[in-house]
Amino acid sequence: MAGVGAERTAEIAARVEAFVRDVVIPHEQAAPRSSHGPSDEFVQALRAKAREAGVLTPHILSDGSHLSQRETAKVLIKSGLSPLGPLACNTMAPDEGNMYLLGKVGSPELKDRFLKQMVAGEARSAFFMTEPASEGGAGSDPSMMQTTCVQDGNHWVINGRKAFITGADGAKVGIIMAKSADGACMFLVDLPDPAIHIDRVLDTIDSSMPGGHSVLTIDNLRVPADQMLGHSGEGFQYAQIRLSPARLSHCMRWLGACIRANEIATAYACKRMAFGKLLVDHEGVGFMLAENLIDLQQSELMIDWCAGVLDTGSLGTAESSMAKVAVSEALMRIADRCVQIMGGTGVTGDTIVEQVFREIRAFRIYDGPTEVHKWSLAKKVKRDFLKAYPA
């Protein structure tokens, strides 16, 4: 990606930050509180303000080009300063990752039909990959996929079950993964569709995603053959194009949220008196804030490093695993300290600190649990050693 340069990126990021701080943050207390996420009406109202301010989908330029990953990080971190920021600016998951994928590999026809409405902030999307664990379906191991697709003339017929499908309830665009005799396949579909039945929307610890996370059944869904991405059996290849950047952009947005949580905790510690002095002057509290600064800086550097690798054209599979583990674990420490510093206030909805803590806890699982990434990296360690020192 060529990008737009440091000066232009800084200008875009500054506009996004000003919008989030001045326009979005005042709406936080009015946001609906539900594990199923804010309503689409609420999101569209915020997006209308973002559109007016010129910060809607700021990482994709008017000519359709995408900021480099390093530039995207500067912008998405700022959008994450409020849990509502990515919703308002159209930089949220799964839409951001889905837009990236379609921008990379979608045909002109698929881009015009599906991507255009997503970039305009008019349609939400969902990525249908994970399946119910209780039924032996694919989760962190996508090779366990049970959803099938069979060609029937100029259509494909899809059957299966999916779980934890973020935003499926209310989405207008779906990207569905299924397996054919050739291997994994990926399809673009219009939503809703009567062949896709949402069985239930899960009650989860996080609450920032519109539509929540659904368990659903796909029953004889017929999809025209020209709505397949690429060819039969290429689905995992396209999933890899999406997963590393999408994993990293999660780190970007939640880093922004933890920067804000730390600002709130710092202000609390610098104003609250206890035992004859400000909380910040108590070593136990002051040291937690110091540790937050260290973790924030390390997280930003890890994101920048991984983004630089992706900007070379590399899939960055190992690098994104390292970044996801390092950043999600660091952000969990930050969020936990913020709650602890603020005491009783930290576990209430009076600030976003409590929500950020919940969201980060979920993030340690979403896009691959820490342990799965470590396992994958350990396999790489062994593979690289045996390659360098064959028996």
Return per-residue pLDDT of the chain as tens, 391 residues: 557 899 999 999 999 999 999 999 999 988 776 778 899 999 999 999 999 999 999 999 988 899 999 999 999 999 999 999 999 999 999 999 999 999 999 999 999 999 999 999 999 999 999 999 999 999 888 889 999 999 999 999 999 999 999 999 999 999 999 999 999 999 999 999 999 999 999 999 999 999 999 999 999 999 999 999 999 999 999 999 999 999 999 999 999 999 999 999 999 999 999 999 999 999 999 999 999 999 999 999 999 999 999 999 999 999 999 999 999 999 999 999 999 999 999 999 999 999 999 999 999 999 999 999 999 999 999 999 999 999 8
Instruction: State whether residue 139 is helix, strand or coil.
Output: coil
The CATH 2.40.110.10 portion of the chain extends over: 126-232
Paired residues of 216 in beta bridges: 162, 198
Amino acid identity of residue 129, one-letter, is M
CATH 1.10.540.10 occupies which residues in the chain? 6-92
pTM, two decimal places: 0.95
110-154 per-position pLDDT tens digit: 999 999 999 999 999 999 999 999 999 998 888 899 999 999 999
Superfamily of segment(s) 126-232:
Butyryl-CoA Dehydrogenase, subunit A, domain 2 (2.40.110.10)
In order, the DSSP letters of 194-258 are: TTEEEEEEE--S---STT-EEEEEEEEEEEEGGGBSSSTT-HHHHHHHHHHHHHHHHHHHHHHHH
Q: Which residue has the tokens 């609906």?
A: 32
Q: What is the pLDDT of residue 356?
A: 98
CATH code of the domain made up of 6-92? 1.10.540.10
Write the CB contacts of 236 (distance below 8 Å, at least 6 apart in sequence): 142, 183, 184
The residue to which tokens 């060819």 are assigned? 231
Measure the CA–CA gap between 261 and 265, rounded to whole angstroms. 6
**What distance in Å separates the CA atoms of residue 183 and residue 114, rounded to the nearest whole number?**
24
Rounded CA-CA distance 80/323 in Å is: 18
What's the fold here for domain 236-388?
Butyryl-CoA Dehydrogenase, subunit A; domain 3 (1.20.140)
Locate CATH 1.20.140.10 in the chain: 236-388
How far apart, in Å, are the Cα atoms of 282 and each of 9, 96, 265?
A: 39, 42, 14
Question: Strand 213-224 to strand 196-202: parallel, antiparallel, or no bridges (unpaired)?
Answer: antiparallel
The tens digit of pLDDT for each residue in 329-342 reads: 999 999 999 999 99
